[in-house]
């Protein structure tokens, strides 16, 4: 083994791979079982702004904005709200790819402070075609319709690519 320092220069504007994806969350509203792709598993606490509401999801991810486009991946995981005076979420989830283009997963976690226009989360690992990947997932809210549908643009930039 070569003994190196791993403190190197990665340049944020030069990812080794980049994927721009759209995430669609259709929260179960109590009646729409056929379309729902997520469900809250705890209720709001008394602290306000949905603080404490945990949502488990298996959400379609598409290459363009259209919910009805063929999914290029599934996003499986959970988010919850965690702020009293504003909507602020926290995500941990896996992007599961199973297409002719990509097979494998990316694992992502981080804070999602909705008042910010864009939010950076960490891509902490990957498998299959994304073996051992790391990077940044930048969220931007692309649309929010009431409480039961929102769409995020997820701009996935990988800076460590091993495959």
Residue ranges in contact with a copy of itself by CB under 8 A: 1-10, 12, 16, 28, 30, 33, 36, 39-43, 45-47, 51-54, 56-58, 76-78, 80-84, 88, 90, 92-94, 96, 104-105, 107, 109-111, 113, 120-128, 131-132, 134-136, 159-162
Tokens of 3: 């003994």
Q: How far is the CB of 129 from a copy of itself (least distance, A)?
A: 11
Q: How far is the CB of 146 from a copy of itself (least distance, A)?
A: 20
Cβ atoms 141, 120 nearer than 8 A: no
Q: Which is nearer to a copy of itself, 64 or 131 (CB)?
A: 131
Cβ atoms 110, 121 nearer than 8 A: yes
Q: Which is nearer to a copy of itself, 87 or 150 (CB)?
A: 87
Question: Other C-beta atoms within 10 Å of 154: how many?
Answer: 23
Q: Which is nearer to a copy of itself, 18 or 65 (CB)?
A: 18
Q: How far is the CB of 84 from a copy of itself (least distance, A)?
A: 7
> How far apart, in whole angstroms, are the C-alpha atoms of residue 65 and residue 151?
8
Cβ atoms 56, 41 nearer than 8 A: yes
The phi, psi pair for 140, rounded to 5°, reads -140, 130
Q: Which is nearer to a copy of itself, 64 or 116 (CB)?
A: 116
Q: How far is the CB of 131 from a copy of itself (least distance, A)?
A: 6
Q: Which is nearer to a copy of itself, 41 or 64 (CB)?
A: 41
> How far apart, in whole angstroms, are the C-alpha atoms of residue 101 and residue 137?
20
Cβ atoms 56, 39 nearer than 8 A: yes
Q: How far is the CB of 147 from a copy of itself (least distance, A)?
A: 16
Cβ atoms 109, 91 nearer than 8 A: yes
């Amino acid at each position: 083994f070569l003994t190196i320092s791993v403190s190197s220069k990665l340049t944020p504007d030069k990812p080794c791979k980049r994927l721009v994806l759209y995430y669609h969350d259709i929260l179960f509203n109590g009646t729409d079982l056929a379309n729902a792709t997520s469900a809250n598993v705890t209720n709001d606490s008394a602290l306000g702004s949905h603080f404490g509401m945990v949502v488990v999801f298996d959400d379609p991810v598409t290459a363009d904005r259209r919910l009805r486009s063929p999914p290029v991946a599934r996003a499986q995981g959970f988010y919850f709200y965690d702020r009293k005076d504003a909507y602020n979420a926290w995500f941990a989830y896996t992007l599961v790819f199973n297409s002719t283009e990509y097979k494998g997963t990316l694992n992502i976690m981080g804070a999602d402070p909705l008042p910010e226009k864009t939010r950076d989360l960490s891509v902490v690992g990957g498998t299959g075609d994304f073996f051992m990947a790391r990077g940044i997932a930048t969220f931007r809210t692309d649309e929010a319709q009431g409480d039961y549908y929102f769409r995020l643009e997820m701009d996935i930039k990988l800076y460590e690519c091993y495959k």
